[in-house]
Amino acid sequence: MSRGFVLNSASFQNLANDISSARLMLSNLLEGIADLVHKYGADPILRSESWLDEILLAPNYGIANWRNDSQVSRDLRLFLLQIVGKTPLLSDLPVGKVDVEDKCLMSEFLIEETPELEVPSAGAAMLLGDILSSIRSSEKWGNAELKIIQRCLNSGSENKFIETRATIPHISNPSHAGPVGHWLKNISRSEVMNVNDLWADRLGLFPNIEFCVEVEEQLHQLQPGIFRSVVNRLVDLDESARRWQVKEAPTPEYGFWVHPESQATLQQFGRQRQFTRTNGSIIQFKHHTRFAGEGRIYFCLDGAQRIFVVGYIGSHLDTARFN
């Protein structure tokens, strides 16, 4: 499912004191949105309660002025033109989300940190599965996630409310793109249903894994019922590589079972463990991890890029002890 953005109208209630601050706040927000679109595959769709050019950022300075401001990056101004605007907020709802408007009308949505503030756009973002997007006009809009409360009347009891709490992704500056992008990636992984989808989007789903050319055919040969186990283990590998990059450690840390092959196995059955990288080089894979009991994923480390190279996904290969 695609994920777009919902503009948080509540963040525009407090105008900036000067044009310089207003210019910076909107630029920061759009830099973050651009990162999510270009690096993480978010949809360039921005829903808003008002037309963008009607929104003020500071006295006598609004988004319409920002669009023509020579002190704003030309690339950012062009990016805003490329965004598909959806106004009013709940126009052109995607298939499967047509009931969102009714749910929004029957509920009030509050920010847990400031429950006196009603934020309808946060509710729309939660129900649509989109990313709430704010200018950082106050500290409450300074985090990469927001805890919100949905309060609606209990249809079975007069004057009694049902409260539902949720945490939603939120962006107001480029530093939020990383954690929100991680959320997007996890959502995408959970929605992968078959081998064709996984292979088509492997670079986006697992950016820290290089798959050898033989892997596509191996995936198609997997037994029914174990696909999700494979995806889960690939997630583990990708996350391990991501932590390796962040820590800049000499070797990765594994939070799961990893085993090196014995020298005897490599001498007898080393050719079974040779696979072709995307650059055409053929290498031998000496480490493996498990999935679904007897399933194996063979991989090696690319220390220069701090990524994993996966060469084999399938059933148990021959070893010196078992063949």
pLDDT at 102: 77
Largest Cα separation within the chain, whole Å, is 78
Report residue 185 as tokens: 């990636």
* Residue 18 burial (CB count, 10 A): 12
Per-residue pLDDT 10s for the chain (323 aa) are 578 999 999 999 999 999 999 999 999 999 999 999 998 889 999 999 889 999 999 999 999 999 999 999 999 999 999 998 887 777 777 766 767 777 777 889 999 888 888 899 999 999 888 999 999 999 999 999 999 999 886 665 566 778 888 999 999 999 999 999 989 988 888 889 899 999 998 988 898 999 999 999 999 999 888 999 999 999 999 999 999 998 888 899 998 999 999 999 999 999 999 999 999 999 999 999 999 878 999 999 999 999 999 999 999 898 888 76
The pLDDT assigned to 164 comes to 87
Integer CA distances (angstroms), 319 to 139, 270, 288, in order? 59, 9, 12
CA distance 243 to 245: 5
| Residues 180, 131 contacting (CB under 8 angstroms) | yes
pLDDT at 17: 94
User: Rounded CA gap, 26 and 23, in Å?
Assistant: 6
Strands 209-211 and 307-314: parallel
**AA letter at 51:** W
Assess contact for 218 and 312: CB atoms under 8 A.
yes
Tracing tokens 């078959």 back to the chain, one arrives at 194
What's residue 204's pLDDT?
A: 85
d(CA 234, CA 203): 12
What secondary structure does DSSP assign to 30-60, as a single string? Answer: HHHHHHHHHHH----EEE-SS-GGG-EEETT
Helices (H) and strands (E) in the chain, counts: 11, 17
Q: What is the pLDDT of residue 154?
A: 67
Phi and psi for 89 in degrees, rounded to 5?
Answer: -50, -40
The answer for 41, left when phi > 0, alpha when psi is -120 to 50, beta otherwise, is left
Nearest to 230 by CA among 272, 293, 181: 293
**In this structure, what token pair is assigned to residue 179?**
């954690």
What pLDDT sits at residue 190?
87
Query: In terms of DSSP bridges, do strands 61-62 and 56-58 run parallel, antiparallel, or are they unpaired?
Result: antiparallel
Contact between 169 and 148 under an 8 Å Cβ cutoff? The reply is no
Burial label for 267, CB within 10 Å (0-12, 13-18, 19+), is exposed
Query: What tokens does 116 get?
Result: 């006196």
